[in-house]
Amino acid sequence: MLLSLVVGIATAPLLTWAAVSSQTYNWANVKIGGGGGFVPNIVFNPSQKGLAYARTDIGGVYKLNSDDSWTPLLDFVDNARWNYWGVDALATDPVDPDRLYLATGMYTNSWDPNDGQILISTDQGATFTPSPLPFKVGGNMPGRGMGERLAVDPNMNSILFFGARSGNGLWKSTNFGASWSKVSSFTNTGTYVPDPTDTTGYNSDKIGISFVTFDSTSGKSGSATPRIFVGVANLGSTNVFVSNDAGSTWSAVAGQNSTYIPHKGVLSPAEKTLYVSYSNGAGPYDGTLGAVQRYNITSGVWTDITPVSGSDLYFGFGGLAVDVQNPGTVMVAALNSWWPDGQIFRSTDGGATWSALWAWGSYPQIFKYYTYSDSKAPWLGPDTDVFDLGTLQIGWMMEGLSIDPFDSNHWLYGTGATIYGGHDLLTWDTTHNVTLESLADGIEETSVQNLISPPTGPPLLSALGDIEGFVHNSLTTAPAAEYSNPAWATAADIDFAGNKPTNIVRIGTGDSSTGKQVALSSDSGNSWSQDYGAADNVTGGKVALSADADTVLWRTNGNGVLVSQYTNPFTAVPTLPSDAEIASDKLNNSIFYGASGSKFYISVDGGHTFTSPSSLGASTAPFKVIVNPGVTGDVWVSSDVGIFHTTNSGQSFTQLAGPTEAWGIALGAPAKTGGYPALFAAASFGTQTGYFRSDDEGVSWVQINDAAHGFGSLSSNCISGDPRIYGRVYIGTNGRGIFYGDASGSAPPTTITSTASSSSKTSSASSTSSTKTTSSSSSSVKTNSTSSSSTVKSSSSTVSSTSTGSAPGATQSAYGQCGGTGFTGPTICASGSTCTVSNPYYSQCIPS
């Protein structure tokens, strides 16, 4: 009874499989090498030399190695625990450096139904134990670069405080994070929301508490630290609080200036001073004004030490660092100086005077007090990319800035795209010329939209969120350049032609540029041309290229299904539903396939008309349609009830007996030459969920992922089989880049126990909570000359939908900012000037 049931139309399987055996796979990232997404903070342990962690918003946490590379710590995260990859805060224990705490959870709105948790490690992140919280944590929410909101008492490390979002207040643990209780005496839980009108809840939820900072000097080892500072996301009302009795009672710090929202509160122990950076937004995209203040704890005096003023101040402040070995040395990053570049300031006298990382010469000359090196990720640097983010090289979204407490020359900062830093920081104070290096080696944070592995040419081509994607000629070397000419921040999909596999089609999402969003290549993605058949501003969705490469079928995002042959104007395909999954036959140029709802569709006239010969059983949501590259009409469809197979162009389907729900599916090289391609599936077999391979057309399976490789949300991921190497599969994740896996040793005999059941299709254990809601996307940018590319993480549509918060009728003066992602100021220019888009993040009033 191991065979699937073959019937005229698909029927629910009558079996559940109790267990599918597994095969050991070797998994590694396909190297991109430069991060590829927002790094909200980098935290050094103050007690153990060289120990540091970087947290990301959608891709977990990394630990620093002595050779500047990073090791991921949350690769065990699987579908059921997908929200662990959203890391909103991190604390490394100053007393016992083996202890590490992460506050995890992805969203506080409906996109993430799960509450958050503190992940506790006692072995520097090798293993974690979750401690559940009774509220949500928002690792990919606005304000995620603030903090840290989570802190370990430096005198009594069993005590931790965590500042929650959403008005949930301040929480305390006295048992190393094992359990938490609310600090009821802390009542000012934060009122600021970026956009109260946002009905998704993403920008209308309270940011809450921004930081918790212990004053280590106020206590002594072995007893609870008396003085604790807490920053709260309030704009224009009291927002820095202090306790002098270890958190029993709280009061506002006297004399504070609460004009802006405090982002970071960093203690300089030798100076007994708290430094605070402020912005008028929650970040990470916004912020047009801000301040830096220092608070002398001894005297109780606040001093404004904002590095710039007047028209030079057009950003907030985020990243803030002190050099604990050189009291008085402090650095602060402009959170977002979109033009002409990001900016970082350094002072060696406690903020009395500052120097900057660059300065204007006589316009447009810029003195760069740094030497730029992107050798670890050459694609970050100048290439032929399209988005004109002008001169941006230093970065943006700079909320994480740290100086190594054991090495004053070593510093790191996170941007929207990567980690930069260097090992000669002290030259800032002598020759004033530091080496700025790309230091994100090992961090793979991309959101993968799709992957193809054609039978000839490069082994892999990717379509990525925010940084377009790459031709991966090597899986182990960082690529030199992204796709270009045309390029769009996010590539939505990519496909190759079966008979002419060096011919590739790629589509964009319109997130960073308007205009045509279809590109064609005939040389495996090395060079591209615009498909002039595409209409301006039609974007996104899925794309399929016909077998002979002359016809593009395009299921757009919001403009229905379109088709074009020979780059003629795209025309509507009303016979295929606008939410259909699509695929091209890999041999017959006239044939395309589709699936929507419970129906399968086929076109035999080059995609002009589709008919539906059959249904897909009880499916309501097909996920993926794939085609045997060697046999026309041999098609597989995954759906919410399993996997379906036809060998007669959809006249009839077989539903496989094992899978009860399936997402990504792919075909790869056969086990035996000339045999049927290996079938890969991200699927559930009843309660067993993961990644599987079948060498016999879906009759028997082995699980190929393991407890150390979970790949996060199943429904966000894509998979592709390698047609040249048996066993090899590529998995594209939402936030942890691309993995490739190779079989190690032989597959064990399949051990399948079957249990008669008539209700097998009702229980899919995997439905826990994966949502595709949000590939956190970023956007990549490039200039044609000296500057670098970089990535901006934007929660795609959610962020771009932010509406303006400025008063109706307010106008911006000439040369002022009038738009851009997250910008909430006036969008109308004073008369005589026109609001002109410089880049997705910055529009400026240019005098006409």
Ligand X SMILES: *[C@@H]1O[C@H](CO)[C@@H](O)[C@H](O)[C@H]1NC(C)=O
Binding site for ligand X (CB under 6 A): 257, 259, 271, 273, 291, 296, 298-299, 350, 367-369, 371, 433, 514, 536-537, 588, 590-591, 604, 783-785
CA–CA separation, 118 vs 790, rounded Å? Answer: 31
Task: Give least dist CB 632 to ligand X, A.
Answer: 7
Task: Give least dist CB 573 to ligand X, A.
Answer: 17
Amino acid in the structure at residue 5: L
57 catalytic? Reply is: yes
Amino acid in the structure at residue 616: L
Task: Give least dist CB 685 to ligand X, A.
Answer: 35
What secondary structure does DSSP assign to 298-336, as a single string?
TTTEEEE--S--GGG--S-EEEEEE-TTSTT-EEEEES-
Task: Give least dist CB 692 to ligand X, A.
Answer: 32
CA–CA separation, 482 vs 463, rounded Å? Answer: 10
Where in 515-556 does DSSP place strands (E)? 518-521, 529-530, 542-545, 551-555
Q: Are 63 and 125 spatial neighbours (Cβ–Cβ below 8 Å)? A: yes
Question: Which neighbouring-strand residues pair with 544?
Answer: 553
Q: Quick check: bond before 154 cis, omega within 30?
A: no
Q: What token pair was written down for 602?
A: 């086929």
Task: Give least dist CB 828 to ligand X, A.
Answer: 16
DSSP 8-state code for residue 747: P
Q: Which is nearer to ligand X, 603 or 777 (CB)?
A: 603
Task: Give least dist CB 392 to ligand X, A.
Answer: 11
- Choosing from 205, 383, 466, 722, the catalytic residue is 466
Q: Which is nearer to ligand X, 7 or 352 (CB)?
A: 352
Number of Cβ atoms within 10 Å of the Cβ of 639: 28
Q: Which is nearer to ligand X, 351 or 465 (CB)?
A: 351
CA–CA separation, 490 vs 466, rounded Å? Answer: 5
- Choosing from 57, 93, 153, 585, the catalytic residue is 57
Q: Quick check: bond before 40 cis, omega within 30?
A: no
Q: Are 559 and 570 spatial neighbours (Cβ–Cβ below 8 Å)? A: no
CA–CA separation, 335 vs 695, rounded Å? Answer: 52
Bridge-based pairing state of the strands 581-584 and 592-596: antiparallel
Task: Give least dist CB 272 to ligand X, A.
Answer: 6
Q: Which is nearer to ligand X, 273 or 779 (CB)?
A: 273
Give how far the C-alpha of residue 418 lies from the chain's centroid of Cα atoms, to the nearest Å: 11
Q: Which is nearer to ligand X, 110 or 784 (CB)?
A: 784
Q: Which is nearer to ligand X, 83 or 584 (CB)?
A: 584
What secondary structure does DSSP assign to 140-183, as a single string?
TSTTTTS---EEE-SS-TT-EEEE-STT--EEEESSTTSS-EE-
Q: Which is nearer to ligand X, 770 or 783 (CB)?
A: 783
Task: Give least dist CB 583 to ligand X, A.
Answer: 15
Q: Which is nearer to ligand X, 18 or 308 (CB)?
A: 308
Q: Are 346 and 428 spatial neighbours (Cβ–Cβ below 8 Å)? A: yes
CA–CA separation, 629 vs 542, rounded Å? Answer: 19
Catalytic residues: 57, 466
